[in-house]
Structure 1
Amino acid sequence: MKLYPIESGNFKLDGGAMFGVVPKSLWNRTNPADSNNMIDMAARCMLVENGDRLTLIDTGMGDKQSDKFFGYYYRWGDHSIDKSLKQHGFHRDDITDVFLTHLHFDHCGGAIQWNKDQTGYEPAFKNAKFWSNKDHWEWAVHPNAREKASFLKENILPMEESGQLHFVDKPSGDFAQPNEMDFGMLFVDGHTDKQMIPHIDYKGKKLVFMADLLPTAGHLPLPYVMGYDTRPLLTLPEKEKFLNEAADNNYYLFLEHDAHNQIITVKHTEKGVRLDRVFTFNELFN
């Protein structure tokens, strides 16, 4: 097995929304805001090469939305999935599987693109199976009012219409390693229903793709929960349980949304679980 970080593009989000009830005077220390109160965000995906199988975990927001839509997200930098794949010697047509931690637009938007004459949509990875889970799919295609703006039908329904949509096995508990995947996954419900957090054993280390359970290193303190979470009081125990386990077992946390920290480890302190060390992917594995 080989792993590759795939940078799909950077953007910005409102710092207050990203930290919920936490005052700016606190979160601004780790995630400094610009004059518009926006903080730097990444859409960092992961490519898993295992034999002749190439699995892309998440896809970023893609580029098919309108200029008005992207105007809300202040994209910056020159990253893209195609550039990042090419850097590692791959093309999007090589991808055999696209695993989506959840179906919010910034995680799955890049899975679907305009067709050639822009009359409709088609899979951006024509040879891939798209993986979700049935409970989350139903949550996304019948969205609540709180999340409706994040579950965009043009990102979601074409997966099913193409015949490329598949579901991983439903777990009996909160952790499973479905036969369909090359890694295990933790199911969590605080951010959105049945978000999947991949756990990958790689070169003697446990690497965890954090998705929105821990967006950035600045979100380590338990009360630092995003305003986007649908069940913040459920996020708290899910996050506490995971972070204690991560500190106990020296997990390496791959941060999807932290524009400035790729991978971190955590440790127990008197104040709870806090940041221990920061790594780039290349420092850790090359």
Structure 2
Amino acid sequence: MKLYPIESGNFKLDGGAMFGVVPKSIWNRTNPADSNNMIDMAARCLLIENGDRLTLIDTGMGNKQSDKFFGYYYRWGDHSLDKSLKKYGFHRDDITDVFLTHLHFDHCGGSIQWNKDRTGYEPAFKNAVFWTNKAHWQWATEPNAREKASFLTENLIPMQESGQLRFVERTGNPFAEKSELDFGILFVDGHTEKQMIPHINYKNKTLVFAADLLPTAGHIPLPYVMGYDTRPLLTLSEKALFLDKAVKDDYYLFLEHDAHNQICTLQTTDKGIRLKEIHTFAQLFE
């Protein structure tokens, strides 16, 4: 088995929204803002090569939205999903499974693309199964007013119409019948209903794809919760349990949205759980 970090593109978001009630004078130390109060963000995906299966966790924003839409997110840098796949010798048609932590547009937008004549949409991974879970699918396709702008119909319904959509069960490994991939899932509900946090055993380490439970290394302190979370108090309790377990079990946290740090570990200090070390993927696994 081999794992690869896939950089699907960088963008910017409002720092205040990303840190909720935490004052800018504090979060600006770890996630410095530009003159528009925007902070650097990544859309870092993870590719798992295991036998004849090639599983991609999340797909970034994609490129099918309008210039006006992307104008809100200040895309920067030269990363793209296709270039990142090509770097490791793969093409999107090689992907057999796309596992989506949740269905906000910055996590699943790259799953769907325009068709050839731009009259409609089609899966961007024509040979892949798309994995979500039933509770989150219902939440996303019948969105509340707070999250409606994050759940885009053009990202969701084409998955269903293609016949490539599958639902993960709450227990068990969704890939157990297809491969020997040791793949566990933590379900959390604070950010959005039934977000899935993958845990992968790889080279004697537990690598956890932190998604929006811990978007950047700057979000490690317990009260640092995004303004985007639908149930911030629930995030607090879920995050507290997760951070404790991350220290106890020596998790390596793969940071999806941290533009400058790929992986981190944690430690207990007199101020609570804090950053221990920052690692690059290459340092740990290559």
SS in 2 for 1:126: coil
Q: Does 1:247 align with 2:247?
A: yes
The aligned amino acid for 1:246 is A
| CA distance, structure 2, for counterparts of residue 279 and residue 213 of structure 1 | 19
Aligned partner of residue 274 in structure 2, secondary structure: strand
* TM-fit CA distance, 1:249: 1.3
Structure 1, 6-15 or 241-250: larger mean CA deviation: 241-250
Task: Show the counterpart of 1:96.
Answer: 96
Q: Which residue of 2 aligns with 1:177?
A: 173
Match of 2:26, as an amino acid? Answer: L
Shift of 1:248: 1.0
Contact 1:55/1:99 (CA < 8 Å) preserved in 2? yes
Matched, 1:69 2:65: no
Q: Determine if contact 1:205/1:252 at 8 Å carries over to the other structure.
A: yes
| Residues 233-279 of structure 1: CA deviation (Å, up to 9, x unaligned) | 00001001000110111110000000000000000011111000000
Q: Does 1:86 align with 2:82?
A: no
The one-letter code matched in structure 2 to 1:45 is: C
Offset at residue 32 of structure 1 (A):
0.2
Deviations 1:106-142 (CA, angstroms, capped at 9, x unpaired): 0000000000110000000000000000000000000
Scaled by the length of structure 2, what TM-score is found?
Answer: 0.97
- Whole-Å separation in 1 of the counterparts to 2:12 and 2:193: 24
Q: 2:279 maps to what in 1?
A: 279
What pairs up with 1:120-199 in 2 under 5 angstroms? 120-171=120-171, 176-178=172-174, 179=176, 182=181, 183-199=183-199
Separation in structure 2 between the aligned mates of residue 243 and residue 227 of structure 1, nearest angstrom: 20
Residues in 2 aligned to 1:193 and 1:36: alpha-carbon distance in whole angstroms:
31
Deviations 1:6-25 (A, max 9, x none): 00000000000000011000
Contact map agreement 1:185 1:199 (CA 8 A) in 2: yes
Q: Contact conserved, 1:99 with 1:132, CA < 8 A, in 2?
A: yes
- Which runs of 5 or more structure 2 residues have no equivalent in the other structure? none
* CA distance in structure 1 between the aligned counterparts of 2:184 and 2:259, rounded to whole angstroms: 25
- What is the aligned length? 282
CA drift at 1:180: 5.8
Are 1:38 and 2:60 matched, yes or no?
no
Aligned-residue RMSD, C-alpha = 0.9
Write out per-residue CA displacement over residues 64-99 of structure 1, whole angstroms, 9 at most, x where no aligned residue. Answer: 000000000000000001000000000000000000
Given residue 177 of structure 1, which amino acid in structure 2 is its aligned partner? N
Q: CA deviation at 1:218?
A: 0.3
Q: Give structure 1 regions of 4+ aligned residues with deviation exceeding 6 angstroms.
A: none
Structure 2 counterpart of 1:28: 28
Pairwise CA distance, 1:177: 2.9
Q: Compute the displacement of 1:170 (Å).
A: 2.4
Corresponding residue for residue 216 of structure 1: 216
AA in 1 matched with 2:19: F
- Compute the TM-score of the two structures, normalised by the length of structure 1: 0.97
Q: Is the 8 A contact 1:168 1:180 kept in 2?
A: no
